[in-house]
């Protein structure tokens, strides 16, 4: 009995809350406009994907000869097998490289950001704000502008055209540090840290067991950001790498595209390859979507 | 041939680098200047070779099997202007560039300006190889002095690809032999079939340069240490005026980009009926307008005066030994083999679609056969003849990127009705002069 009462009460509360919200903001016109804008945005973002899906299924002549938004001869299987067999399966290699650069790079980058952000939020030390300002300044410097100086530095230590030349710059994310600091300040209570210290936990242990755990939704956000940034980074590999077995997918597809005038069949492979290359991004996003949303709003109401 | 905006953006990169380290003394110590000694080291040597010809790795594998003491590693990269040249320029500054690279004819001069090339004229076998290549290709590698800075790889002698069926339909039974006749044919064709005779590609300076080459309108001249800019020569203006008239009278398609799906669709549906283009273009049509098989034919490029025999060239590359190489003799030996060995030439033609710069290339079985797509015509007879008629004096400037950008920007405007092709040449001339001066190259007047 009491259970059902409580249920009813909470339901009433919920509906009251809903009603309240609707009366203040949700006029039918506003909903309509919002819907239209959202639909336009969705179409805008989905049409290129649709085009990619349609055209990846075509033969090379149909890619040119038929309407880009309609299916014609179904050739996806053949395209895929050509894609993965070309030059001894170099495409798969590029895919694995991208996963390595983006996956491992984002993981390490997130961990470094978390440590730096936590330290900036929870320890007070001399020069903390100056340091933070310096890091914030780093957000403003575009990665493009840093690629060439990095190249010269890496050339001096003999690391150009190696995995490290793309991986090392990728694990640095001033924006990640910034987000981490905000999240750490908002979601890791000082009392909890003090309690852990009283129980005899080392600072490292406090960070790993308390800090990291409480910051985890935010860390997913940083991971996703960093993953996408590295996955899409094109200029850095272009400047650093020459050996095709080290290239990420973006660079590989670009190089195929640049050879199309000599070998037109590369065009359909570039299209199919582009489709395949967005799949890991979509999968990552869908898998982490829940945390992503939680992470974005965490700290916003404190 | 490639997307200009990106090229232009990337082109800015090495300039930044140059101004940052201008005159840095740690550069590979001027390997390019002297041709003094070039002896094989006698040791086992490993070389790296940058190329963007599809299938080149298989050709090099052949070399590696035969030459255990000179092992070559291939690095397949994007096309030169799509980023590889900048990568190489950066590498030359930082000392990380490879031993050899594919370099297009129009870019050799830029590499020379950056001290990026080795004079290999004293290396074993190089001096004797001159007779094995089409005259003009060898001439291109000398860059106006007595050195040899690269070995010619392939070339793009130009001819006229045309839709025989559409020409017949319009009552044009023999392909036009002069540009005047081509103009008349354009009118006839438009009236009878509604087709444009060709397209004037948007934002593509390279194609037009090939036509300038045929007219003997060299973009630059070398005068001792000085460079003379002749982009806006009377000959060049004549070519520009000719095509401007074609544009003004709506006889050429002006809304198509070269190598675009739209162009391929226009070839397929017969709304564009010919293409003055290079030998390597035969596969471009064959593979992108596959349903028009048997309808195309190839004729000599129309001439500026009846009875002339002048061909243009569009594209083509060399194999250059970079100044960073510690083994120029071995590198030159490899480059010579790569571009003269019949087995290598055959593979490069088969896998990469190369039209060889070596005259022996004309004897490749693949280039002697009739080609089904072109109605069984032995089209390479036409290109072989053209290869011997290309002007040997055509000269590129050391800052071609800027010249090209000015030209392709101007063409795009002219095709959209703003300004003319002749205006474009004038603008490109002054842009070229400015960029040469900015690079500290003495400009003759």
Instruction: Say yes or no: A64 contacts chain B, CB-CB below 8 A.
Output: yes
- Residue of B10, B76, B259 lying closest to A244 (CB–CB): B76
| B contacts of A239 (beta carbons < 8 Å) | 13, 86-87, 90
- Which of A61, A243, A255 is the closest to B78 by Cβ? A255
pLDDT of the residue at B1? 40
Q: Does A263 sit within 8 Å of B353, measured CB to CB?
A: yes
A259: contact with B, CB 8 A cutoff: yes
**pLDDT, tens digit, 9 for 90 and up, residues A76-98:** 999 999 999 988 899 999 999 99
Across the interface, which of B78, B90, B264 has its CB nearest the CB of A239?
Answer: B90
State pLDDT tens for residues B265-322: 999 999 999 999 999 999 889 988 989 999 999 999 999 999 999 999 999 999 999 9
d(CA B2, CA B161): 21
Higher pLDDT, B403 or A290: B403
Instruction: Write out the DSSP string of chain A.
Output: -HHHHHHHHHHHHHHHHHHHHHHHH--HHHHHHHHHHHHHHHHHHHHHHHHHHHHHTS-HHHHHHS-TTS--S--HHHHHHHHHHTTTTHHHHHHHHHHIIIIIHHHHHHHHHHHHHHHHHH---TTHHHHHHHHHHHHHS-HHHHHHHHHHHHHHTT-TTSHHHHHHHHT--HHHHHHHHHHHHHHS-HHHHHHHHHTT--HHHHIIIIIHHHHHHHHHHHHHHHHHHHHH--HHHHHH---GGG--HHHHHHHHHHTTTT-TTHHHHHHHHHHHHHHHHHHHHHHHHHHHHHHHHTTTT-
Which residue from B82, B83, B288 is facing A64, i.e. has the nearest CB?
Answer: B288
Contact (Cβ atoms closer than 8 angstroms) between residue B314 and residue B158: yes
The verdict on B271 touching A (C-beta cutoff 8 Å) is no
Tokens for B37, please give them: 């000694």
% of chain A with per-residue pLDDT over 70: 88
The string of DSSP codes covering B226-261 is: EEEE-TT-HHHHHHHHHHHHHHHTT-EE-S-BTT-H
Residue B307, classed as helix, strand or coil, is coil
pLDDT digits (tens, 9 = 90+) for B383-413: 999 999 999 999 999 999 999 999 999 999 9
On whether any CB of chain B is under 8 Å from the CB of A148, the answer is yes
Q: Do A259 and B78 touch (CB under 8 A)?
A: yes
DSSP letters of B87-147? HHHHHHHHT---SEEEEEHHHHHHHHHTT-B---TTSTTTGGGGGGB-HHHHHHHHTTSS-
Token digits of residue B348: 């490069």
Determine the distance in angstroms separating the CA of A258 from the nearest CA of chain B, rounded to an integer.
6
> Does the beta carbon of A265 lie under 8 angstroms from any beta carbon of chain B?
yes
Of the pLDDT bands very low, low, confident and very high (cuts 50, 70, 90), residue B144 is confident
Query: Does domain B158-312+396-444 bear CATH number 1.10.10.10?
Result: no
B172: its two tokens: 């044009």
Q: CA distances (Å), B404 to each of B241, B306, B425, in order?
A: 19, 31, 11
- Taking residues B351-359, what's their average pLDDT? 91
Helix, strand, or coil (residue B310): coil
User: pLDDT class for A223, splitting at 50, 70, 90?
Assistant: very high
| Residue A12 reports pLDDT greater than 80 | no
DSSP B376: T
Q: Which residues of B touch A243 (CB under 8 A)?
A: 75
- Lowest mean pLDDT: which of A275-289, B236-250, B394-408, B416-430? A275-289
CATH 3.40.190.10 fits B4-156+315-368, yes or no: yes
The DSSP output letter for B53 is S
> Tens of pLDDT along B63-117?
999 999 999 999 989 989 888 999 999 999 888 899 999 999 999 999 999 999 9
Domain ranges (residues) in chain A = 24-84, 87-297
Q: Which of residues 38-67 of B touch A (CB under 8 A)?
A: 50, 52-54, 57
User: What's the rounded Cα separation, in Å, for the pair B230 and B221?
Assistant: 7
B228 has a pLDDT exceeding 60: yes
A155: nearest CB among B2, B95, B288: B95
Q: Which residues of B touch A146 (CB under 8 A)?
A: none
Between CA A112 and CA B205 the distance in angstroms is 49
**Minimal C-alpha gap between B285 and chain A (Å):** 9
- Say if residues A266 and B76 touch (Cβ distance below 8 Å): no
- pLDDT tops 60 at residue B28: no
Q: How far apart are CA B219 and CA B221, in angstroms?
A: 7
Work out how many CB contacts closer than 8 A connect A with B.
94
Measured between beta carbons, the chain A residues lying within 8 angstroms of B1 are: 261
Provide the β-strand partners of residue B229: B220
Over residues B30-58, the pLDDT tens digits come to 344 444 578 998 899 999 999 999 889 99
- What pLDDT, on a 0 to 100 scale, did the predictor assign at position A298? 56
Q: Does residue A294 surpass a pLDDT of 80?
A: no
E strand or H helix that includes residue B156: strand B151-163
Residue A143 confidence (pLDDT): 82
CA-nearest residue of chain A to B267? A65
Is A65 in CB contact (< 8 Å) with chain B? yes
Structure confidence at residue A262 as a pLDDT band (50, 70, 90):
confident
Q: Is B370 touching A (CB cutoff 8 A)?
A: no
Q: What one-character DSSP code corresponds to residue B346?
A: H
pLDDT grade for A296, boundaries at 50, 70 and 90: low
Minimal-distance CA residue of chain A relative to B78: A255
CB B223 within 8 A of CB B395: no
CA–CA distance, B255 with B417 (Å, rounded to integer): 11
The whole-number pLDDT of residue B290 equals 87
pLDDT of residue B10: 45
Question: Could you tell me which chain B residue has the CA closest to the CA of A65?
Answer: B265
CATH superfamily, with its number, for domain A87-297? MetI-like (1.10.3720.10)
Q: What are the CA-CA distances from residue A173 to residues A117, A183, A209 (Å)? A: 11, 15, 23
- pLDDT, residue A26, reads 74
Q: What is the mean pLDDT of residues B176-184?
A: 97
Report chain B residues whose CB lies below 8 A from the CB of A87. 57, 76
pLDDT for A302 equals 44
CB contact (8 A) between residue A254 and residue B2: no
Partner residue facing A155 (CB), from B2, B52, B94:
B94
| CATH 3.40.190.10 residue ranges for chain B | 4-156+315-368, 158-312+396-444
Enumerate residues 6+ apart whose C-beta is below 8 A from B392: B135, B136, B139
Helix (H, G, I), strand (E, B) or coil at B150: coil
**Position A301 pLDDT exceeds 60:** no
B 208-247 residues inside an 8 A Cβ radius of A: none
Whether chain A has a CB inside 8 Å of the CB on B8: the answer is no
- Give the nearest chain A residue to B55 (CA atoms): A87
Residue B7 binned pLDDT confidence (cut-offs 50, 70, 90): very low
| Residue B5 pLDDT class (50, 70, 90 cuts) | very low
Q: Is B284 on the interface with A (CB under 8 A)?
A: yes
- The predicted model gives B158-186 an average pLDDT of 96
Q: Does B17 touch chain A (CB under 8 A)?
A: yes
A146-160 pLDDT, tens digit each: 988 999 999 999 999
The C-alpha atoms of residue A211 and residue A205 are separated, in whole angstroms, by 9
Close Cβ partners of A164 (under 8 Å, ≥ 6 residues apart): A154
Q: Which residues of A touch B261 (CB under 8 A)?
A: 63-64
Q: What angle do CA B305, B314, B390 make, to 5 degrees?
A: 45
Say yes or no: A260 contacts chain B, CB-CB below 8 A. Answer: yes
**Whats the size of chain A, residue-wise?**
302
């Amino acid at each position: 009995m009491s259970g059902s009462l409580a249920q009813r009460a909470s339901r009433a509360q919920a509906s009251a809350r809903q009603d309240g919200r609707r009366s203040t903001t949700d006029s039918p016109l506003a909903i309509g406009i919002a819907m239209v804008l959202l639909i336009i945005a969705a179409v805008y973002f989905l049409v290129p994907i649709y085009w990619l899906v349609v055209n990846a299924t075509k033969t090379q002549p149909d890619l040119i000869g038929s309407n880009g938004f309609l299916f014609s001869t179904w050739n996806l299987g053949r395209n895929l097998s050509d894609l993965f067999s070309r030059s001894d399966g170099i495409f798969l290699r590029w895919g694995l490289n991208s996963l390595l650069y983006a996956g491992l790079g984002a993981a390490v980058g997130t961990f470094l950001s978390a440590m730096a952000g936590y330290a900036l939020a929870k320890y007070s030390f001399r020069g903390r704000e100056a340091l933070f300002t310096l890091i914030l300044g780093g957000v403003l410097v575009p990665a493009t502008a840093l690629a060439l100086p990095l190249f010269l530095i890496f050339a001096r230590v003999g690391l150009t055209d190696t995995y490290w030349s793309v991986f090392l710059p990728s694990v640095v994310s001033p924006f990640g540090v910034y987000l981490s600091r905000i999240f750490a300040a908002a979601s890791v209570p000082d009392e909890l840290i003090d309690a852990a210290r009283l129980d005899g936990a080392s600072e490292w242990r406090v960070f790993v067991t308390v800090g990291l755990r409480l910051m985890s939704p935010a860390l997913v956000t940083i991971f996703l950001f960093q993953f996408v940034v590295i996955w899409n980074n094109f200029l850095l590999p272009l400047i650093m790498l020459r050996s095709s077995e080290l290239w990420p997918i973006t660079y590989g597809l670009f190089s195929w595209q640049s050879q199309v005038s000599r070998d037109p069949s590369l065009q359909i492979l570039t299209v199919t390859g582009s489709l395949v290359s967005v799949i890991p991004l979509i999968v990552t996003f869908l898998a982490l979507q829940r945390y992503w949303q939680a992470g974005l709003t965490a700290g916003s109401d404190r | 041939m490639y997307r200009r905006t990106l090229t232009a953006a990337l082109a800015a990169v090495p300039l930044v680098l140059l101004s940052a380290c201008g005159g840095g003394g740690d550069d590979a110590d001027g390997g390019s200047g002297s041709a003094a000694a070039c002896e094989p080291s006698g040791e086992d040597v490993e070389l790296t070779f940058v190329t963007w010809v599809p299938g080149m790795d298989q050709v090099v594998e052949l070399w590696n099997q035969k030459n255990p003491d000179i092992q070559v590693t291939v690095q397949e990269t994007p096309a030169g202007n799509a980023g590889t040249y900048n990568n190489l320029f950066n590498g030359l500054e930082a000392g990380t560039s490879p031993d050899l690279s594919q370099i297009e004819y129009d870019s050799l001069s830029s590499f020379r300006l950056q001290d990026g090339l080795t004079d290999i004229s004293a290396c074993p076998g190089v001096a004797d190889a001159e007779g094995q290549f089409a005259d003009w290709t060898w001439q291109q590698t000398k860059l106006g002095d007595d050195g040899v800075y690269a070995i010619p790889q392939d070339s793009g002698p130009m001819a006229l690809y045309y839709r025989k069926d559409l020409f017949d339909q319009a009552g044009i039974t023999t392909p036009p032999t002069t540009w005047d006749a081509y103009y008349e044919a354009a009118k006839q064709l438009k009236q009878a079939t509604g087709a444009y005779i060709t397209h004037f590609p948007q934002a593509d300076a390279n194609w037009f340069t090939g036509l300038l080459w045929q007219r003997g309108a060299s973009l630059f001249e070398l005068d001792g240490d000085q460079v003379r800019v002749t982009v806006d020569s009377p000959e060049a203006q004549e070519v520009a005026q000719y095509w401007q008239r074609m544009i003004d009278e709506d006889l050429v398609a002006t809304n198509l980009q070269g190598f675009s799906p739209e162009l391929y669709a226009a070839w397929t549906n017969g709304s564009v009926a010919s293409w003055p283009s290079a030998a390597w273009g035969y596969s471009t049509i064959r593979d992108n307008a596959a349903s028009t098989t048997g309808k195309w034919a190839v004729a000599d490029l129309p001439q500026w005066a009846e009875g002339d025999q002048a061909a243009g060239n569009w594209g083509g590359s060399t194999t250059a030994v970079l100044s960073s190489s510690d083994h120029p003799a071995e590198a030159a030996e490899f480059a010579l083999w790569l571009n003269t060995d019949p087995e290598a030439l055959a593979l490069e033609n088969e896998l990469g679609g190369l039209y060889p710069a070596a005259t022996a290339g004309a004897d490749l079985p693949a280039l002697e056969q009739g080609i089904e797509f072109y109605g069984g015509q032995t089209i390479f007879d036409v290109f072989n003849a053209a290869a011997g008629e290309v002007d040997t004096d055509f000269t590129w400037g050391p800052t071609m990127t800027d010249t090209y950008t000015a030209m392709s920007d101007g063409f795009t405007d002219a095709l959209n009705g703003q300004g003319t092709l002749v205006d474009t040449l004038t603008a490109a001339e002054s842009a070229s002069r400015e960029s040469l001066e900015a690079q500290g190259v003495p400009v003759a007047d």
